[in-house]
Structure 1
Amino acid sequence: MSIPKEPRQLMINLMYLVLTALLALNVSAEVMNAFFSLDNGLKNSRGIVETNNDVLMSNINKQADAYKTEINEKYRSNAKEAIQIANEFSEFIEGVRKELFEKAGGPSKKDPKIPKDIRNKDITTRMFVLGENGKEGLGFEIERKVKETRERLLALADNDKDVEAALPLQLEAVPASSDKTSWPDFRFRQMPVAACFPILGKIQSDAKTSSAAVLNYCLKKVAGEDIKFDAFQPAISAPKGYVIAGDKYEADVFLSAYSTQADNISISVDGRSLPMKEGVAKYEVGTSSTGTKSYKVSINVTNPLTQKTDNYSKEFQYEVGQRSCSVQLDKMNVFYIGVDNPVSVSAAGVSTNDLRVSSSGINMTKDGSSHYNVRATTPGEATITLSGGGLPPTTFKYKVKRIPDPVALLGAQKFDSSIPNGTFKAQGGVAAVLENFDFDAKCDVIGYTVAYQKKRADVVEKTNAGARYDADVRDLIQRASPGDVYYFLDVRAKCPGDIASRRLGDLVFKIR
């Protein structure tokens, strides 16, 4: 589920600022939601294990109270310590989760249970692998605590080989084919923030399940091999909560308080019986379409003493996604000539280092790990193509347009056609204003003609170059008196990217 690639360390600070903008993109929502769905599922499974651990501890206490021996007291003490060790370890991981949540921007507006910067990979790389403020990455501390916790729990079970094989809390080996040299590097480098929560959640779940294995062992020691549990609940452990279309979805379906010697349990999924091995059944199903999938787990448990069979059923979900990519124009859904057009690109399931971006009809320059700046010179159509990292070439088409015509305004303000004399004389010229245009662009007035019509007098015309009044036009403006009419004719302006000037129209004002 990881996407391991070396980051460019010299760009970390800039990339952090740039990547926060990706939250505005509606990219791979299925995948991101699946991470938190999986994390919630793991949390629910932990709750089930904790409930059954309470039942186990209660049975151990009852047996130890009924038969007060040194052996029973020893294993009661071991059981309590196992719960405490698992709780302390889980609290440590919970602290790591909270720190990651805060480093990822804290609660998002849409869902306060999800942090803002869920797609960021540099936060996790620094926090877990590279380290910060002169300290080593947290992944190395997690690695040590996993080893230490496993050893402590196993010691409480007398280093029993069967218990050792049943403890899920352990570090998976770094594959020989991997270029990673350590477990933190392999597990957390370039992992999106969203993906780290279920990874940490699974480690917590493994600790709780490992303590359950120790409690099972202690219960056998205080109660004897014939004692069986009196309450059961189904649970699942899946390597990932989403899959690419065409891959297999796999999940371990098991009884949360189970024994590896159990022979009184049968498990089925959607009516199909699954083979059992040491109390665990493996469920596999092919995937061909995307979306949310569900399946129903049914577990039958036969009490060996009463021969009564109880059924426990529960429905589970997983999400099937596919590789997807997106190009987001950060300001408007069109490229404008003569201005900087910021663009963000992203591809789910593809490392930013593998993503290839090409274009036609425009010039693109990189402005961060996933940001580009586009400059256009010719109206028409432009294309941007994304490829690489297993993503087939995907092309996005966009229109290229001139900057919209600005509006000619007297003194850069809007006035009624009837204007007070003092207000009219106070203006210094004509401006070309771009209204409702998000880009940083300024149009310059090239020139215009002012026609002055006084009552019962001939029209006087003066031509003005530029936006501000020249001396002749200023003199004409200062002659204004109530009832006079002024015409600003053939106002022309030039905007960024223009080869020739544009005609903006005329303005007419009557002095009052």
Structure 2
Amino acid sequence: MAGGKLTPRQKMINLMYLVFIAMMALNMSKEVLTAFGLMNEQFETSNSDTTDSNKLMYEAIEQKASDSPAQFGEAKKIADKVKKISADFYAYIESLKTDITKDIEKEEGKLPYEAMDKGDKIDELWFSGDGYSQKGKEIIATINKYKSDIKAAVGNDVKYKGILSDVDKKFDISDVKDNEGVKKMYLDYHYKGFPAIASLTKLSAMQNNVKVLEANVYNFALGKAALEANNMKNYKAIVVTDKSAFFSGEAVTGRVVLGRYDESTVPTGVNVEGGKVEMKNGQANFEISAGGTGEHDIKGKFLFLEDGKEVEIPIEGNYVVVPRPNSATISADKMNSVYRGVSNPMTISFAGISDNNVSVSAQGLSKGSKPGQYNWSVNGVQGTTAVVTVTGTLPDGSKVVDKKTFNVRDIPQPSASVRGKTDSAKGNKNDLSNSTINAVFKDFVFDVTATVKSFEVYVPGNPAIICQGNRFNAQALKAISRATRGDQITINRVQVDVQGAPGYKVKPSSPLVWEVQ
């Protein structure tokens, strides 16, 4: 349109074309500015939701660390560091956003997106000539500090490899080549010359990366702690004798069991000093000859293979040999503790005295159908101990009294279960979506029937989702459908009701981590 000699009419036509194109560009710019504004609103809403979700996850880690310091203590340490690092960096980015908007007058509480078409504030504050100003250098230094602090917080554990990769990827501040192949500095490429609303949106997106990364660290910390709970060094050998006192010369019988055991837990070797041992159903049944009157130790060891290396778990216990018949024999059929929320079967007798000459008293204790058999409900017992008092009437009419103190415990924390797996599992996301969530009381001496009331699910990149009942709701199914291979989805805080114990409140479950294949 600019070449050669043009008539006045043609010049007028060309001028009209230029005005028309300018008007189109003006309208398009307003639409783009509004789009950036709406996108910024979405980022800020997402940041608020993720902040609330992260708070819940941190509180879950905090509670677990309080309940099980050995298992979740390290996860709590990492969470504490990342929480502060994230909060400080997030607040710093917020201050940059405030610098952009502090002189802009809002309209009905909202920023005027179409009027935020200039970027001169950032250009003047962040840049000096072809380089960075002091403020620009400060921004780059703060981003680098955030990256190094996060890496130091999670350490070099291979399980956090994905987190470390995310930090480098989402906060890459290296130089960038533009469409013409010209290399530009990070802030120059992303912020110099851009409308204020575009820069504001990019900063909100950076805040979103901070929140999502914080959520992923919490999820990894929980999952890692749950997986480490299965390490063989965390098992404990427990000696359970058939009764707590034996006569001199009598065979001492009982069981040595692992604190976490099942039929698949088979040691490569086991021995009890001075006795015979037979492995059966995950238990080491032993028999040794009782010594003289007094307390005796039971010692031995389990041997397991773990990662090709032999791991030794010591067996430590004791028993008491008493003379006849001046002391009662009192034993709990389900180990030497009694539990709230269940009926505790008890076998109580007085050595050398028939059952009809023995009386037993304890709060909540009732007589069973067979001699020496009792059922004990300790739901109404306050404190951590309860006492059984046994009175025996001797043939001459005199009475002997003995007492036994038991530890009163709550039902242990259940474990979240999916498709028969606990702690961790692998599979495709469709299998998980179609699964029923259960809670099991692993290694508990009682068979407990529980009904799932609700549970929480954490999917990387999403806030915590609370589901009612034992199935995923629509929100959870949608989040799971977006999961990718390698993502670790955490099922946590399964709440249950225990059959036969109305009103009894059980602790929320420990987590299960499902790795998407």
- TM bucket (normalised to shorter chain) is 0.3 to 0.5
TM-score (norm 2): 0.39
TM-score (ref. length: structure 1):
0.39
